[in-house]
Amino acid sequence: MKITVLDGYTLNPGDLDWGAMAAFGDLTVYDRTPADKTVERAIGSEIVITNKTVLDADAISRLPELKYIGVLATGYNIVDVDAAASRGIVVTNIPSYSTMSVAQMAISLLLAIVQRVEHYADENRKGRWSRSEDFCYTDFPLMELAGKRFGVVGFGHTGQATAKVASALGMKVGVFSSKPQTELPAGYDKMDMDTLFKESDVVSLHCPLTDTTRHLVDSRRIETMKPSAILINTGRGPLIDEQAVADALREGRIYAAGMDVLGTEPPAADNPLLTAPRCFITPHIAWATKEARVRLMDIAVGNVAAFLSGKPQNVVG
Catalytic residues: 236, 265, 284
CA-closest candidate to residue 96, choices 123, 75, 114, 79: 75
Q: Are 234 and 161 in contact (CB under 8 A)?
A: no
Burial of 1 (0-12, 13-18, 19+ CB in 10 A): middle
Radius of gyration of the chain (CA): 22
Burial of 246 (0-12, 13-18, 19+ CB in 10 A): buried
290-308 and 99-115 helices, crossing angle to 10°: 160
99-115 and 157-168 helices, crossing angle to 10°: 40
Number of Cβ within 10 Å of residue 184's Cβ equals 18
Is 264 strand, coil or helix?
A: coil
Number of Cβ within 10 Å of residue 58's Cβ equals 12
